[in-house]
């Protein structure tokens, strides 16, 4: 095991990446430039797309997928060829907001079944402190019949990739790494240094690395919740929240957060992992869960204000036609899983409002499969009683005023959740304009 790093560099030993999604795919592509890589995913259709040079995640692009040397596979036995395994599978929450470790446990069993002596397994999935050592290691031992510490070692290196972000990539984000002992930590650190230009931070223990990851997104969640609460308060005071934040941001140490929907696989999920572990230890979170409650209710806040706007503008609410622009969980990303836009649509449905959803970036098949929503064509977005711009895709941000006006009926009501339109221009055009 001591020579594993050198063997990877010399391409004698292989790296495997388990889970080829928005996190795993960029990792696999980066390592394939320096080493031999096996890219594994259970989704055979996705694997076939990768083999054809098609990137369904749009994270790295078709051209890069065509040129990469990754050995794509959905056959788990191929993992026996590798001795450095990186597990990058989703860690969602259940409906009751408790951690759903099933995907991680399944991936760990899969790796265990194909584990060879001298291997290192690094987990990148977000978990609460203790999961790697208390849950994953026993599974690996059981499935492999190998002994932890003697036959194999583990590490944890939390993913920090930001889907849809062309600036903050794997290569230029400092990588936190940890290992089950000094030897494994050194090897893991050296391996990641092959692709991470920003540098490596060696955590003292696996639990420290796990905790560091889970608080990163919890911190963001709390700060966004504060902004959302401010937005609710300022609307009651008839004060524009964006203007308040612009004024406050002139102070050097003001934190640059904004109100909005908090969806996706990290910010809206990770806090529940931390509070779950805290509950097991007899502590009930106050700040973290309060922030989660505020953010989870923003879909209802938007829908209620939509109805108020229509009533104020003498629009017949019953059977009104609402155009939702944007459905993905974040801008310039095709992923609709865990989107909070669905909360707005459900709440509007309670008022019997008809919604048309247009999103030039979203995966139409995924949207239909998960939410039973058929995305509308751009041409269908017309004669609308209300427009809700829910996601700030570049496609929407570059449109001029006439683009939006021609889609509305004579009432001209626009809710701009991301504040991409100019407020004064909207007023001049006679638009009843609302933003978070």
pLDDT tops 80 at residue 429? yes
Dist CA 436 CA 431 (whole Å): 16
pLDDT tops 80 at residue 54? yes
Side-chain half-sphere CA neighbours of 12 within 13 A: 7
Report the phi/psi class of residue 135: left, alpha or beta, with left for phi > 0 and alpha for psi in -120 to 50: alpha
Domains in the chain: ranges and CATH: 4-204 (3.40.50.720), 224-435 (3.40.50.720)
3-state secondary structure at position 300: helix
Residue 287 banded pLDDT, cuts 50, 70, 90: very high
Q: What DSSP state is assigned to residue 425? A: H
pLDDT tops 60 at residue 121? yes
Residue 267 banded pLDDT, cuts 50, 70, 90: confident
* In the chain, % of residues over pLDDT 70: 97
pLDDT in tens, 348-377: 999 888 899 999 999 888 899 999 999 999
pLDDT tops 60 at residue 2? no
Cβ atoms within 10 A of the Cβ of 248, count? 12
Side-chain half-sphere CA neighbours of 26 within 13 A: 23
Helix (H) or strand (E) holding 43: none
pLDDT tops 70 at residue 132? yes
pLDDT at 337: 82
Residue 263 banded pLDDT, cuts 50, 70, 90: confident
pLDDT at 227: 96
According to DSSP, the residues that pair with 72 across neighbouring strands are 39
pLDDT tops 90 at residue 335? no
CB contact at 8 A, 200 and 177: yes
Dist CA 359 CA 318 (whole Å): 25
pLDDT tops 90 at residue 168? no
pLDDT at 172: 80
Q: Are strands 14-18 and 82-87 parallel, antiparallel or unpaired?
A: parallel
Ranges 73-77, 167-171, 319-323, most confident: 73-77
Mean pLDDT of the chain: 92
pLDDT at 315: 87
pLDDT tops 60 at residue 130? yes
Look up 266 and say whether it is catalytic: yes
Dist CA 243 CA 249 (whole Å): 10
Dist CA 94 CA 346 (whole Å): 19
Cβ atoms within 10 A of the Cβ of 124, count? 24
pLDDT tops 70 at residue 99? yes
Of these residues, 211, 266, 303, 381, which one is catalytic?
266
* Rounded average pLDDT over 278-304: 94
pLDDT at 334: 87
Among 69-73, 165-169, 257-261, 401-405, the range scoring the smallest mean pLDDT is 165-169
pLDDT at 355: 93
Residue 166 banded pLDDT, cuts 50, 70, 90: low
The CA–CA distances, whole Å, from 285 to 153, 271, 349 equal 33, 10, 33
DSSP 111-168: HHHT--TTEEEEE-S---TTHIIIIIHHHHHHHH-PPBTTTEEEEE------TT-SSS
Report the phi/psi class of residue 148: left, alpha or beta, with left for phi > 0 and alpha for psi in -120 to 50: beta
Q: Is the dihedral of CA 312, 316, 318, 323 positive or negative?
A: negative
pLDDT at 403: 95
């Amino acid at each position: 095991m001591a020579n594993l790093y050198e063997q990877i560099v010399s391409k004698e030993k292989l790296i495997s990446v388990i889970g080829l999604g928005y996190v795993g795919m960029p990792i696999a592509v980066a390592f394939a430039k320096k080493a031999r890589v096996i890219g594994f995913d259970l989704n055979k259709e996705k694997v076939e797309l990768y083999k054809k040079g098609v990137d369904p995640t749009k994270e790295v692009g078709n051209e890069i997928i065509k040129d990469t040397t990754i050995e794509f596979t959905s056959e788990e036995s191929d993992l026996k060829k590798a001795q450095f395994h990186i597990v990058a599978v989703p860690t969602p929450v259940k409906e009751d907001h408790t951690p759903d470790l099933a995907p991680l446990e399944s991936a760990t069993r899969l790796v265990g079944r194909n584990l060879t002596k001298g291997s290192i397994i690094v987990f990148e999935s977000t978990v609460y402190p203790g999961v790697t050592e208390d849950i994953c290691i026993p599974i690996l031992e059981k499935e492999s019949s190998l002994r932890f510490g003697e036959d194999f070692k583990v590490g944890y290196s939390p993913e920090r990739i930001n889907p849809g972000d062309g600036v903050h990539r794997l290569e230029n984000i400092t990588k936190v790494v940890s290992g089950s002992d000094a030897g494994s930590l050194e090897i893991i650190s050296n391996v990641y240094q092959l692709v991470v230009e920003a540098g490596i931070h060696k955590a003292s223990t696996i639990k420290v690395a796990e905790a560091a990851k889970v608080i990163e997104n919890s911190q963001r969640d709390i700060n966004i919740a504060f902004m959302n609460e401010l937005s609710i308060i300022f609307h009651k005071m008839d004060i524009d929240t964006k203007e308040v934040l612009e004024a406050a941001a002139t102070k050097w140490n003001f934190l640059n957060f904004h109100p909005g929907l908090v969806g996706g696989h990290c910010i809206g999920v990770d806090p529940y992992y931390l509070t779950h572990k805290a509950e097991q230890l007899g502590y009930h979170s106050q700040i973290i869960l309060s922030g989660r409650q505020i953010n989870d209710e923003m879909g209802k806040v938007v829908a209620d204000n939509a109805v108020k706007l229509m009533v104020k503008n003498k629009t017949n609410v019953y059977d009104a036609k609402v155009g939702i622009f944007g459905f993905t969980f974040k801008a310039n990303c095709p992923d609709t899983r865990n989107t909070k836009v669905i909360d707005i649509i459900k709440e509007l449905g309670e008022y019997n409002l008809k919604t048309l959803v247009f999103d030039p970036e979203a995966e139409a098949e995924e949207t239909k499969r998960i939410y039973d929503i058929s995305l509308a064509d751009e041409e269908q977005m017309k004669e609308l009683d209300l427009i809700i711009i829910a996601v700030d895709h570049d496609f929407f941000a570059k449109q001029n005023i006439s683009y939006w006006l021609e889609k509305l009926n004579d009432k001209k009501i626009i809710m701009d959740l991301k504040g991409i339109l100019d407020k004064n221009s909207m007023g001049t055009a006679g638009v009843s304009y609302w933003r978070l």
